[in-house]
Amino acid sequence: MTKFELLGNAKFVEASEKCVAPSFRGTFNANNAKSAKITICGLGFFELYINGRRVSDEVLVPVDSHYHRYDESMCHEESENMKLYGEELGYRIYCVRYDITDYLVNGKNAIAVNVGPGWYFRYGECKLAYLMNIDGKELLSDETLKWRSGPVTEYNLTKGELQDYTKYDYNDGWMLPEYNDEHWSDVKVVSDPESEYCLQDCPADKVIRTLHPALIAEKGDIRVYDIGENLTGWPVVRCAKRAKKITLKVGEMFDAENVELCENWWHGQKCEYICDGSDREYRPMFTWLAGRYIVLDKDAELVAYEDVHADITVSSFFNSDNEILNWLYDAYRRTQLCNMHAGIPSDCPQIERRGYTGDGELMCEAVMMTLDCKEFYRKWMRDISDCQDRISGHVQYTAPYVRSGGGPGGWGCAIVEVPYIYYRMYGDILPAKEYFPQMLKYLDYLEAHSENDLVVSDQPNEWCLGEWNVPGSDVGIKPEVPDPFVNNYFYIKSINRMVEIARVIGEEDKIPSLLEVRQRKIDAVMKNYFDESTGDFANNVNSANSFAIDIGLGDERTIRNLADHINSMTGVDVGIFGTDYVPGVLFRHGYAKEAFRFMTYTECPSFAYMKDSGATTLWEDWHGPRSMCHPMFGTPVKYLFSYLLGIRQTDDSCGYKKVIVAPAFIDGLNKVSGGINTESGRISVDIDKHAGKITIVIDGTMDATYVCDGKEQKLSKGENTFTL
């Protein structure tokens, strides 16, 4: 939509002088209103009040996007992270619509809005525009609005806020109609940002639950609290001393000996509050903090901790008699939710908070399988689309775009992978159909960056991460598996997806040329990386064989060598992608024992090592030196459901219309149960070897079949029980 279609003639306003986070107010009349709605856009995040009442329990709205064109000279400390290299991207701004009928009073009313930078800090000053429709009458933001500085006077999205409540009287009076705002300043009307305007249809962030951290240490002027889990959100504090500056820090690890946060896992996250002497509660307004431990001045009272993330429910459950698998599911679920803020599936919730296309495309199937996130990913696919260069076809490493590390293989292919998985999981082909021309454009880009049919480069002087974060002494140690091998793997895999999409959307005429390109890329992989004498690809370093097997390359030696490698391993040796492909191809090819060993290996590095180290979320690196809340290693969680429980779609199914239940019965795993919600209903499986039975419950319209020892039995709606 255009700005006019969504906001009409509303004017965008901002503070008339530089201000970190302005507060805006205005008044209007309403009498016996029967219907009142507001469409509002506050860039970056906003809080809306009508007559002193907070409208909605949503926080950190609207969702982040690639807002509009920007002037690099305005991007201060992040200017280096905003370079586009002459690329032409798409732009999108989200607005939020609320029903405010019940907030209005007869006569004079007041609208009050706090606006903070959010991700928009890269683009310039905070902006506000709104359109109210009250019984058919439009009331618009314009030059009659007033502004002054809000309490946030210093701000950094990833590190925190300074809130000063002594400069002005920040009680709720300024939000009321009778408040005298003569001393406030006139707003500055600015030109409308040129962009596509959309109503937010993605789940917003909310306070999901309230916890009460335990006091675990005191030293000097500070107290230390343990939330009990690595989470995202904010501590809620009080302090009745006027002009007292209190400091609050949050981190992922605590040094008990020195009674302080471990420097490497604090990540600089801090909020400071200069108090006004009232009994108000202090919490961040326009950001969140990530970690488990809280360090707080003794002059302040810790009231509670509010767990904050996108309002997304967990739509799965899993339990077994293996503690490592149970931990993996719980840690993954917690990690993933910590990384769903402002419409972005992020890499980490503290250091970068970016929607990396590599992490996102890798994780999307596990996320869609375990969480109710359909609309969340519908929004993120738009971000990926917006962040593709319309000229070359290059897809950025993050969506929305912030210059970051990635590569042509594994990152850009998100333009193919996410719409494809979305179709398979939800039965909705429309996004894949919409983005199919962009998928073709991306293949053109890969072709343009190939030599001898191997994809060898991306943008000049840019990253080519490949099989990122294999185990090593430092984060991101370069893997031995060659980058062109990884790049071609993703090229071939993307073509496989696109051939399937083309058949569904009626683009069969594109298939012959796709197959021709695919064969050339396969031939290049075989020529350069396949060892005829051993059956290995790239010497099977960092489990390279799993990449080849996943796209149908190699022979019986290739999978056998991979299985032997896992049977003899002294710790996992894979990075971001191999963590998914190794157990996946092993399960699919009948090596369930080896896949199980990979997932439950107990020595370092392994999932068990993270668990035994006390982690409640997954780490960025197998040894844990940086972020301790990264979902990318959580992809094997989907195999808990698709192989250990055996719930998977047939190849010709989408939206779980056709399902087989074919568990991989593993020696040593005697009890396992779990279930998922699908577009075709809920399905759960309970395996109890001690009782000698398996119970499968179908609550939906799916066509389901139980497969065991080569025999098939149709499943009916309700409970189905079989003897093992």
Which CATH number do you get for residue 591? 1.50.10.10
Boundary residue ending a domain (285, 310, 335): 310
Residue 643 belongs to some domain of the structure:
no
Instruction: Give the separation between CA 476 and CA 464, rounded to whole angstroms.
Output: 12
Boundary residue ending a domain (259, 285, 310): 310
| Closest alpha carbon to 470 in 577, 563, 549 | 577
pLDDT at 11 over 80: yes
Are both 578 and 632 inside the same structural domain?
yes
Question: In a 10 Å sphere around its CB, with 0-12 CB exposed, 13-18 middle and 19+ buried, how is residue 61 labelled?
Answer: buried
pTM (two decimals): 0.96
pLDDT at 69 over 90: no
Beta strand 205-211 pairing with 301-310 = antiparallel
Comparing 622 with 83, the larger pLDDT belongs to 622
Are both 437 and 474 inside the same structural domain?
yes
Q: Which of 66-70, 383-387, 678-682 is predicted with the least confidence, judged by mean pLDDT? A: 66-70
Are both 611 and 694 inside the same structural domain?
no
Residue 702 belongs to some domain of the structure:
yes
**156 conformational bin, left if phi > 0, alpha if psi -120 to 50, beta if neither:** beta
Instruction: Give the separation between CA 202 and CA 372, rounded to whole angstroms.
Output: 12
| pLDDT the model gives residue 84 | 57
pLDDT at 212 over 60: yes
Assign residue 700 the CATH number of its domain. 2.60.420.10
Residue 427 belongs to some domain of the structure:
yes
| pLDDT the model gives residue 78 | 47
Residue 647 belongs to some domain of the structure:
no
| Closest alpha carbon to 387 in 36, 709, 39, 89 | 89
Residue 334 belongs to some domain of the structure:
yes
pLDDT at 478 over 90: no
Amino acid at position 672, single letter: V
What per-residue string of b and e applies to 377-401 under the rule 16 or more CB within 10 Å gives b?
A: bbbbbbbbbbbbbeebbbbbbbbbb
DSSP 8-state secondary structure symbol assigned to residue 501: H
Are both 223 and 330 inside the same structural domain?
no
pLDDT at 72 over 90: no
| pLDDT the model gives residue 76 | 47
Which own/partner contact pairs does 150-154 have at CB distance under 8 Å and 24+ positions apart? 150/20, 150/21, 150/22, 150/23, 150/114, 150/115, 150/116, 150/285, 151/21, 151/285, 152/20, 152/21, 152/116, 152/285, 152/286, 153/20, 153/21, 154/20, 154/272
Q: Which of 26-30, 399-403, 526-530 is predicted with the least confidence, judged by mean pLDDT? A: 399-403
DSSP 8-state secondary structure symbol assigned to residue 537: B
pLDDT at 643 over 90: yes
Whole-number percent of the chain with pLDDT over 90:
90
Are both 366 and 297 inside the same structural domain?
no
Residue 641 belongs to some domain of the structure:
no
| pLDDT the model gives residue 306 | 98
For residue 695, the surrounding DSSP H or E stretch is strand 693-700
Boundary residue ending a domain (257, 287, 310): 310
The single residue listed with the structure tokens 């999901």 is 208
**265 conformational bin, left if phi > 0, alpha if psi -120 to 50, beta if neither:** alpha
**Structural domain count of the chain:** 4
Are both 489 and 630 inside the same structural domain?
yes
Whole-number percent of the chain with pLDDT over 70:
97
Assign residue 37 the CATH number of its domain. 2.60.120.260
Per-chain mean pLDDT for the chain: 95
Which residues span the domain enclosing 223? 207-310
Preceding amide of 62 cis, omega within 30: yes
pLDDT at 122 over 90: no
Question: Three-state DSSP class for 698?
Answer: strand
Average pLDDT over residues 31-43: 97
pLDDT at 265 over 80: yes
pLDDT at 403 over 90: no
Are both 706 and 583 inside the same structural domain?
no
Beta strand 693-700 pairing with 681-688 = antiparallel
Are both 324 and 305 inside the same structural domain?
no
| pLDDT the model gives residue 381 | 98
Are both 416 and 450 inside the same structural domain?
yes
- Split at pLDDT 50, 70, 90, the class of 71 is low
Are both 507 and 533 inside the same structural domain?
yes
Instruction: Give the separation between CA 719 and CA 724, rounded to whole angstroms.
Output: 16
- Split at pLDDT 50, 70, 90, the class of 476 is low
pLDDT in tens, 324-365: 999 999 999 999 999 999 999 999 999 999 999 999 999 999
Are both 93 and 231 inside the same structural domain?
no
Residue 160 belongs to some domain of the structure:
no
Token pair for 350 = 């503290």
- Split at pLDDT 50, 70, 90, the class of 79 is very low
The single residue listed with the structure tokens 């009460």 is 212
Are both 329 and 301 inside the same structural domain?
no
| pLDDT the model gives residue 458 | 86
Instruction: Give the separation between CA 390 and CA 558, rounded to whole angstroms.
Output: 40
Residue 650 belongs to some domain of the structure:
no
